[in-house]
Amino acid sequence: MAIDIPHIVSPIAVFDLDGTLADTAGDLVGTLNVILKQEGLAPLPVSKARDMIGAGARALIQRGFEAAGKELTPDYLDELFKQFMVHYGENICVQTRLYPGVLEALGRLEQAGFILAVCTNKMEEHSIKLLDELGVGHRFAANCGRDTFPYFKPDPRHLTLTIERAGGNPARAVMIGDSRTDIVTAQNAGIPSIAVPFGYTDVPVRELKPDLVINHFDELFAAVRAVMRPLAA
């Protein structure tokens, strides 16, 4: 008589990219400053522009021009967005670096049987290129950007479809991010969230009520275990 062995669903950890896995501010603001300079506007220091990041390149351009006191028409914003994407794609990993402890944290999760995935509002092509240049692209079962699906964060379907593409299950998932967008996406999907406080956010992440906040990636594994739902019997 055959014994029915239940299928064990592998847990999955889904990461945001900008401000979570990698500090991308230098290259994003660097490209913004190229655009500002060609328009005769003063460049912005990274320290001032960091909190403008997180909602995509269009929003970054718009916020940069607002800070400079110049309005943009929708059509001209579209044109500048195209220029931004080309320049950024060619200079995507000049100053960008993984945050301390990321490599070790990914390795520990992999050793524990976790599937790894990325769910970012960066364009998929740029997300793939950047993680490959950082030497970690091969570690993620799915790398899904703003244009991968018809939906993007904070729509929860961006997260749940990323999990599906990676071969995971939302019931065994956790989201790691740095901003309101990531936390709200996870909350809307009914998935626990862990936030890092060193990324790009206009308010302290603790005020956004993620399940846990970690200050360094060496705390991630314990945090994931703490928020991960137990397997149903």
The CA–CA distances, whole Å, from 183 to 15, 31, 71, 196 equal 11, 27, 31, 11
SS3 119: strand
- Token pair 């990461």 is at which residue? 15
- Rounded Cα distance between 8 and 121, Å, is 31
Residues 94 and 27 sit within 8 Å (Cβ to Cβ): yes
Q: Which of 8, 20, 3 is nearest to 140 (CA)?
A: 20
Question: Is 16 tagged catalytic?
Answer: yes
- Rounded Cα distance between 228 and 71, Å, is 45
- The one catalytic residue in 16, 27, 182, 211 is 16
- Rounded Cα distance between 155 and 149, Å, is 11
- Rounded Cα distance between 50 and 25, Å, is 6
User: What residue type is 7 in one-letter code?
Assistant: H
- Rounded Cα distance between 149 and 157, Å, is 9
Catalytic residues: 16
